[in-house]
A and B are shown apart, each in its own frame.
Chain A
Amino acid sequence: MHTLGNQVLKKTVNMIEEALFGHQPPGRPFAGAWAPAMGSVDDRLDWSWPNARTMTTKATLLRSLSIAVNNRQSTTILNEPALTKTAERPITLKHESDELRWSKLMANAQTGDEADYRQLLSELTDVIYNFLCSRFGNHHFTEDCVQETLIAIHQARHTYDKHRPFRPWLFAIVRHKAIDILRKQSSRQRVTSQYKVEQEVLSQVSQQNEADNEIIRGHLLESLSEEHRDVLVLTKIIGFSVAETAEKLSISKSLVKVRVHRAIHKLKKMMEADQL
Chain B
Amino acid sequence: MNKHESLISDLSSNLAPVSPPPNINRLAIAWFALSAIYVVAVTQLFGPIRPGAITQLSTEPRFLLETVLGVAAILWFSLLAFRSAIPAALTRQFAAAGLVLMALWLAQYVVGFISPALEPSKLGKRNYCYFETMVYSLPVILAGLFFVRRLYSLRPVRTAMSISLAAGMLPALYMQLACMYEPAHILAFHILPGLLMVGVGAGIAAWWRLRHPDFGKR
Residues of chain B lying within 8 A (CB to CB) of residue A111: 17
Residues of chain A lying within 8 A (CB to CB) of residue B19: 110, 158
| Contact A159:B87 (CB < 8 A) given known A110-B17, A110-B18, A172-B154 | yes
B1, A117: Cβ atoms under 8 Å? no
A173, B154: Cβ atoms under 8 Å? yes
Q: B15 at interface (Cβ–Cβ under 8 A)?
A: yes
Q: A72 at interface (Cβ–Cβ under 8 A)?
A: no
**Set A150, A158, A161: member contacting B11, Cβ < 8 A:** A150
A52 to chain B, nearest CB (A): 20
Q: B127 at interface (Cβ–Cβ under 8 A)?
A: no
**Set A113, A150, A172, A272: member contacting B15, Cβ < 8 A:** A113
CA distance A117 to B8 in the complex (A): 9
- Chain A contributes a number of interface residues (CB within 8 A of B) equal to 37
B20, A161: Cβ atoms under 8 Å? yes
Of A63, A143, A158, chain B has the most CB atoms within 10 Å of the CB of A158
| Contact A172:B87 (CB < 8 A) given known A109-B15, A121-B11, A158-B19 | yes
CA distance A159 to B15 in the complex (A): 16
CA distance A143 to B86 in the complex (A): 25
| Contact A168:B15 (CB < 8 A) given known A156-B217, A158-B20, A158-B21 | no
**Set A113, A150, A155, A168: member contacting B4, Cβ < 8 A:** A150
**Set A63, A112, A154, A173: member contacting B17, Cβ < 8 A:** A112
B80 to chain A, nearest CB (A): 15
CA distance A118 to B198 in the complex (A): 41
**Set B8, B11, B21: member contacting A159, Cβ < 8 A:** B21
B20, A110: Cβ atoms under 8 Å? yes
A159, B151: Cβ atoms under 8 Å? yes
B158 to chain A, nearest CB (A): 12
Which residues of chain A from 158 to 200 have any CB-CB distance to chain B below 8 Å in the complex?
158-162, 164, 168-169, 171-173, 176
Binary CB contact string for chain B from 150 to 178 against chain A (1 if under 8 A, 0 otherwise): 11101100000000000000000000000
Residues of chain B lying within 8 A (CB to CB) of residue A74: none
B87, A125: Cβ atoms under 8 Å? no
Output the nearest chain A residue to B9 by Cβ-Cβ distance.
Answer: A118
Residues of chain A lying within 8 A (CB to CB) of residue B34: none
CA distance A54 to B82 in the complex (A): 47
Output the nearest chain B residue to A175 by Cβ-Cβ distance.
Answer: B154
Residues of chain A lying within 8 A (CB to CB) of residue B12: 114-115, 117-118, 121
Output the nearest chain A residue to B90 by Cβ-Cβ distance.
Answer: A172
If over half of A's interface residues share one DSSP class (helix, strand or loop), that class is named, otherwise mixed; here it is helix
A58 to chain B, nearest CB (A): 12
Residues of chain B lying within 8 A (CB to CB) of residue A173: 87, 154
A193 to chain B, nearest CB (A): 18
A112, B16: Cβ atoms under 8 Å? yes
A59, B1: Cβ atoms under 8 Å? yes
Residues of chain B lying within 8 A (CB to CB) of residue A143: 3
B8, A121: Cβ atoms under 8 Å? yes
A114, B13: Cβ atoms under 8 Å? yes
A169, B87: Cβ atoms under 8 Å? yes
Residues of chain B lying within 8 A (CB to CB) of residue A164: 88-89
CA distance A117 to B9 in the complex (A): 10
Residues of chain B lying within 8 A (CB to CB) of residue A117: 11-12, 15
Which residues of chain A from 57 to 77 have any CB-CB distance to chain B below 8 Å in the complex?
59, 63
A-B contact pairs, 20 of them (CB 8 A): A59-B1, A107-B20, A110-B19, A112-B15, A112-B17, A117-B11, A121-B11, A122-B8, A147-B4, A150-B7, A150-B8, A155-B217, A159-B21, A159-B86, A161-B21, A162-B20, A164-B89, A171-B88, A173-B154, A176-B155
Given contacts A117-B12, A146-B4, 20 further A-B contacts (CB under 8 A): A109-B15, A110-B19, A114-B12, A125-B1, A147-B3, A151-B11, A155-B218, A156-B87, A156-B217, A158-B21, A158-B218, A159-B85, A159-B151, A160-B20, A161-B21, A161-B86, A169-B88, A172-B154, A176-B87, A272-B92
The chain A residues found within 8 Å of chain B, CB to CB, are: 59, 63, 107, 109-115, 117-118, 121-122, 125, 143, 146-147, 150-151, 154-162, 164, 168-169, 171-173, 176, 272
8 tightest Cβ-Cβ pairs between the two chains A and B = A112-B17, A156-B152, A158-B18, A168-B88, A172-B88, A172-B87, A118-B12, A121-B8
